[in-house]
Structure 1
Amino acid sequence: MDFKDSIYQLSNRVEKLKDSICTEEATKNAFIMPFINSLGYDVFNPLEVVPEMTCDIGTKKGEKVDYAIMKDGSPILLIECKHWTQNLTLNDNQLLRYFHVSKAKFGLLTNGIVYKFYTDLIEPNIMDKKPFLEIDITDIKDNQIEELKKFHKSYFDIDRILSSASELKYTGELKTLLAAEFSNPNPEFVKYFAKQVYDSIITAKLLEEFTDLTKRSIASYINDLISERLKSAMQTEDAEAKDITVISEEQQDSKIITTEEEIESYMVVKAILRSVTDVSRIVYRDAQTYFAILFDNNNRKPICRMYFNGNKKYIATFDENKKETKNEISSLDDIYNYSKELIDIISIYDKKQEE
């Protein structure tokens, strides 16, 4: 099961069980522990997840944070939990105090349904009072899953998360402000646009008229955007349908069918190798029994092969002697476990080319 599927499965679980969850402890067991598990961490391994981790704060001794996710012996994510019916407020919250005395760079406040992720964008070592990422697990969007995936054990990278945290935080706040203005524009917002189209003084009466005009103009513009997008999408679908027909005919002749899963595996390999080579040099060729990913479009430079046609999935890697080693994988995420082998073979090809 890939990461997205596991999150959607958890979403369905929460919807079904929440009304029967009566305590905070039950919330942890039914919702939050499965969430941590979906991030790739073993909740029963104290080297990865420490429950009730003690955080001594000044004269306060023995205070505990509900969970601390660990890496190399240090906490990287502190998690404070509430009952699923509780509102999540950070005022005088323990998480603020824990963050200050911990090495962790991220804090998570959750009731098992809403997940609020915090860091220290404004002042170093002082947790921001506003989250940079907020997710409702029962109404999660694909783009949020991609951001959440950055916290997965296989992909966790502090710098990568921080690089997007600022943008996430401020775009989220701006979207909220825009939504409020679009539904009920304030006088300053209306005046800004009214002055662009009306040359005289904006009186109170005119301001009232322009408020209504602004609301209708925004609604009309959004409708026009949606119509254009739908029109463009329909045209794209028509073009793709024609392409698919041609491809299908070719595949019927060749008995080769390139699946969506194979294409996704190719994208994963490109993501792994992006830091060491120009991804335009990485191409794929499909065959009846395997899906090959090549360097420089050269059959003599195989990067790896995917065997997805049977009941089990395999990735085959290559060494400097072109010896193929097949490794069973349970999901596409497991491809990341072979990053070293993929990077090494690129280095070998580049070195031979220089020689």
Structure 2
Amino acid sequence: MPVQNAEIAEMFDQTAELLEIKGDNPFRSRAYRNAARVIERLPKSITSLLKAGEDLSELPGIGKDLAGKIATIVATRKFDVLDRLKRELPGDLGEIASLPGLGPKRVKLLYDRLDVRSLEDLRRAIRSGRLRELKGFGTKSEQKLAAALTKPQAVKRFKLSEAEAEAEALLNYLRGTKRDQMAVAGSYRRRRDTVGDLDIVVAAHNGAAVGDKLSKYENVANVLAHGPTRTRVVLRSRLQVDLRVVPKASYGAALMYFTGSKAHNIALRGLANDRGWKLNEYGLFEGQRRIAGATEEEIYRKLGLAAIPPEMREDRGEIALAGAGKLPRLIALGDIRGRPACPFQLERWDGPGCRHGSRGKSERL
């Protein structure tokens, strides 16, 4: 599978973090961070640009050196600079730096003076009272870090374009030659600006086989859980993927359940309850009998509603509109008019070339 832009950006962000902790030249770490932001904003994948023969050094903030490093990452899936830094600075220093009240400079102090390399090392330093012995760390800092260590780390959210690149590659891999029903649900299907994880719903007879295939995906960094109906993995870009396998009779219900916002789903269950029915991820039931569930459309129809597009399932008045048959038509790609954009999305263009105003001169790509 091709290396995704989000993976390269993540590698550069980690490199910048570790360079700062190491106390390296600040301009070097800044260059990696700036390059990561440029890569995240690209409308096309780095892999496709390289295949098309584009010169990545023409991008603002990415010179010949970084362009060469990016090409090597795409070809080998490895970044020797980051690998070397991880050997020199082992442990979870990057993760520690993300804790409130800390940063690369303070993490470097913890590493140099207390040999803190992991979150558990930091917990021990707090319990022993050694943390407050360091300059800049007092009782309040100690209490704040102790509280942060008891809470789960915030889930990183990905821009929709980043998640889309990962989702398309993953679906192509999972589908293969099979014709199993399969879709990505959640905030991704609602087309939110950012996505915390990918919820993939599959209707298949052999759930274990689909889970096995996901766990062997070459972009998987860690398998968190694997069973006959659910598999959870973390990709190299740190995007988490939850795969749920259901019977075909429940596919529509599962897709509806894992797509809608919590408030939207609660409102739908309320409509079902008003009719003496029960709605869950397995279907719409009258007593023990499933009366709908294979498709989302038949569930909405049973509830007296027009089918609500995934993008509108936020409980912001769409259910009332669906009941009255007054759902608005969503804007489609064919409704959009405009001039083509520069392949690197830096500004508009009017011909075979494009300008890079950020460099102070016009350059042909």
TM-score range, shorter chain: under 0.3
TM-score by length of 2: 0.24
Higher relative contact order (CA 8 A, sep 6+): 2
TM-score by length of 1: 0.25
